[in-house]
Amino acid sequence: MTETRRAWLGLLVVLGPVLLVSMDGSILFLAMPTITHALAPTPDQALWILDSYGFAVGSLLIAFGSLGDRYGRLKLLMIGAAVFGAGSAGAAFATGPEWLIGCRVLMGLGGATLLPSGLAVLSEVFPEPRRRARAIGIFAATFAAGFAIGPILGGVLLSRFGWGSVFLVNLPVVAVFLAAAPVVLREVKTTRPGKVDLLSIVLSAGGLLLTVYAVKNFAAYGLSWSAIAGVFGAALLTWFLRRQRKLEYPLLDVTLFREKVFTVAVITGVLSLFAWSAAAFLTGVYLQSVLGVSVLAAALLALPGAAALTAVCVLTPAFSLKIGNRAALVTCHFAMALGLALLLATTATGGIGWFIASSVVAGVGYGISFSLVADTAVGAVPADRAGSAGAIAETSNEIGNALGIAVLGSVAAFVVRSEGTAEAHVTGLHVAMGIAAVLCAGLGVLALRWLPKDSSAEDVVSESDRVVDRA
State the virtual CA torsion across 55, 150, 271, 97 in degrees, nearest 10. -30
DSSP 345: G
Helices 198-221 and 386-403: crossing angle in degrees, nearest 10, is: 20
At 194 the pLDDT is 57
How big is the CA angle at 301 (ends 150 and 136), to the nearest 5 degrees? 40
Q: What share of the chain is helix, strand, coil (3-state, %, to 5)?
A: 85, 0, 15
Q: Between the CA of residue 300 and those of 148, 269, 297, what are the distances in Å? A: 12, 26, 5
Closest to 339 (Cα-Cα) out of 365, 371, 316, 361 = 361
At 458 the pLDDT is 43
CA atoms within 13 A on the CB side of 370: 35
For residue 258, count other CB atoms closer than 10 A to its CB: 8
Cβ neighbours of residue 413 under 8 Å, at least 6 residues apart?
Answer: 43, 47, 220, 428
| Rounded Cα distance, 248 and 25, in Å | 35
- The continuous run of DSSP H or E covering 375 comes out as helix 352-379
Contact (Cβ atoms closer than 8 angstroms) between residue 76 and residue 113: yes
What are the structural domains, with CATH classification, of the chain? 3-196+251-470 (1.20.1250.20), 197-250 (no CATH)
CA atoms within 13 A on the CB side of 36: 15
At 463 the pLDDT is 41
Cα-to-chain-centroid distance, residue 167: 18
Between the two ends of the chain, the Cα-to-Cα distance in Å is 26
DSSP 454: T
Q: Between the CA of residue 389 and those of 176, 206, 375, what are the distances in Å? A: 27, 20, 10
Q: Is the pTM of the predicted complex or chain greater than 0.75?
A: no
Residuewise pLDDT in 10s, the chain (471 residues):
576 777 888 888 888 888 887 788 778 877 888 888 899 988 778 878 887 887 787 777 777 766 776 667 788 888 889 999 999 999 999 999 999 999 999 998 888 887 767 767 776 777 776 777 677 767 777 876 777 788 888 888 888 888 899 999 999 999 999 998 888 877 655 545 457 778 887 888 788 778 877 876 776 666 777 788 889 999 999 999 999 888 877 777 787 777 776 777 788 888 998 998 889 889 988 998 889 988 788 888 988 998 888 888 878 877 887 887 788 889 999 999 999 999 999 999 989 999 999 999 999 998 888 777 766 666 655 666 665 666 677 667 767 776 787 788 878 877 877 776 668 889 999 999 999 999 999 999 988 887 777 544 344 444 434 433 433
At 158 the pLDDT is 85
Contact (Cβ atoms closer than 8 angstroms) between residue 342 and residue 396: no
Burial of residue 203 (number of CB atoms within 10 Å: 0-12, 13-18, 19+)? buried
